């Protein structure tokens, strides 16, 4: 999601909108996971208010959480290669 936010993200009032419609299967294919795994992960992220999903558009509300999970502390957001 960090890479997608870098490529397709637009700053909005409540976070970063990934301005590209994505299905769970497309996300799974992008990272080499199963659709079921992606569905579970997205559900947890939505429940924890890290992201929201509206009509297959994802808004990231807490990019820092995602960066922390991926140990991005030494990687500048603008230069992310994840």
CA 15/CA 76 separation, integer angstroms: 17
Is the distance from CB of 16 to CB of 10 less than 8 angstroms?
Answer: yes
Order across the sheet with 57-60: list the strands.
9-12, 15-18, 57-60, 51-54
> In this structure, what token pair is assigned to residue 78?
């603008």
- Looking at residue 30, the DSSP 8-state letter turns out to be H
Give tens-digit pLDDT for 15-51: 999 999 999 999 999 889 999 999 999 999 999 999 9
Confidence (pLDDT) at 69: 86
CATH class, range 2-79: mainly alpha
Q: pLDDT, tens digit, for every residue of 43-78?
A: 999 999 999 999 989 999 999 999 888 777 666 656
- The residue written with tokens 């820092």 in the block is 64
Q: Where are the domains of the chain?
A: 2-79
pTM of the model: 0.83
* DSSP secondary structure letter of residue 32: T
């Amino acid at each position: 999601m960090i890479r997608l936010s870098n490529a397709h993200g637009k700053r909005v009032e409540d976070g970063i909108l990934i301005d590209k419609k994505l299905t769970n299967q497309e996300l799974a294919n992008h990272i080499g996971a199963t659709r079921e795994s992606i569905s579970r992960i997205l559900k947890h992220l939505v429940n924890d208010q890290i992201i929201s999903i509206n009509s297959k558009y994802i808004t990231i509300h807490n990019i820092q959480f995602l960066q922390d999970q991926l140990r991005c502390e030494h990687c500048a957001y603008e230069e992310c290669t994840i």
